Each structure stands twice: as C-alpha cells, then as structure tokens.
C-alpha cells in the first residue's frame, strides 16, 4: 500500500507544481497582482468574460443575419419596382401612337403586346353585379330557350 501511495503522492506533487507554474504565468499574462486577487476571483472573472464574449458573438451573428435579410428584402423590393416601371414603360410605348401617323413598327409592337399579354391586361376594377338581380334574371326557362336541339342529319 505505501509503495502505491508514495507513487501517487509523487505524481500529485509534480501536478501541483505544474499548476502553480501555469497559475503564475496566467497572473503575469493578465498583469494581475496575486496579493490582491484570489484564485476564486480570477476564475470567476474569466468565466464571466467567457460567457459575455459568447453572448456577444451570438448577438453579432443575429444582427448580421437580420441586416442580410433586410438587404435582401430591399433588393427584392427594388427589383420588383424596376420591373414594374419597365412594364409600365413598355405598355406606354406599345399604346402610344406617334402624332405624325408614323406607323413603322406598329405591327411588331402589337405582336409583342399580344405575345407578352400586355394587350390583355386591364388594371381597372370591374364592378361586381348584384347577385339578387342575377338570380332573378337566370331561370330554367331562359336556359331552354338558348339550348335547342340541333338536327345534324
């Protein structure tokens, strides 16, 4: 028993001296007076610094993400606005007829309007028909008048 205990005690003495050396190095590195600061205070301060530092890193990351999100939203809004203005300008150009009755390119612009669908876009709001009047106007007898049998023979 005493042989094993002496070996363990020797290891503990070596570990303690290494710890003391490292502790003195830390105190010297941070310029801390060992007479005024206890070991507990030092480690409490280090722990507080570490937790505040990691919290600051997380906050910075969240702020960067929100700034990036806002930047992307602004870019998308500006792009949508530009596209809207381009569509409006294209529509104006298509609908404008020169005052001099110069009809060169009119067919091309009309074909382009038909292909793009700009000729069919009507931005005006339509007034919905009152439902009461529709129900009164539509009756089964009115369908019979429209749908007549056709003889194809």
Q: What is the pLDDT of residues 2-30, one digit of tens each?
A: 899 999 999 999 999 999 999 999 999 98
pLDDT category, 144, cuts 50, 70, 90?
low
Q: What pLDDT is stored for residue 94 in this prediction?
A: 67
> ∠ CA 87-92-98 to the nearest 5 degrees?
150
**27 near 42, Cβ under 8 Å?**
yes
Q: What is the pLDDT of residues 87-115, one digit of tens each?
A: 888 777 766 654 444 556 667 777 777 77
Distance set, CA 64 to CA 30, 52, 78 (Å): 31, 18, 21
Find tokens 């529709």 and name the residue: 134
User: What contacts 34, CB < 8 A, 6 or more positions away?
Assistant: 24, 27
Which among 125, 99, 121, 95 is positioned nearest to 110, based on CA atoms? 95
Distance set, CA 153 to CA 53, 148, 150 (Å): 92, 15, 9
pLDDT category, 80, cuts 50, 70, 90?
very high
**84 near 77, Cβ under 8 Å?**
no
The SS3 of residue 125 is coil
Q: What pLDDT is stored for residue 47 in this prediction?
A: 95
């Amino acid at each position: 028993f005493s042989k094993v205990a002496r070996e363990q005690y020797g290891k503990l003495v070596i570990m303690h001296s290494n710890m003391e050396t490292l502790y003195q190095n830390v105190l010297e590195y941070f310029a801390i007076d060992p007479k005024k600061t206890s070991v507990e205070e030092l480690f409490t301060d280090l722990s507080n610094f570490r937790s505040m530092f990691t919290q600051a890193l997380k906050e910075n990351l969240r702020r960067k993400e929100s700034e990036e999100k806002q930047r992307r939203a602004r870019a998308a809004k500006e792009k949508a606005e530009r596209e809207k203005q381009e569509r409006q300008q294209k529509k104006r150009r298509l609908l404008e007829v020169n005052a001099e009755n110069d009809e060169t390119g009119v067919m091309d612009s009309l074909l382009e309007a038909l292909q793009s669908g700009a000729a069919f876009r009507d931005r005006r709001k339509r007034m919905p028909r009152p439902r009461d009047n529709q129900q009164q106007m539509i009756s089964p007898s009115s369908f019979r008048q429209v749908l007549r049998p056709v003889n194809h023979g």
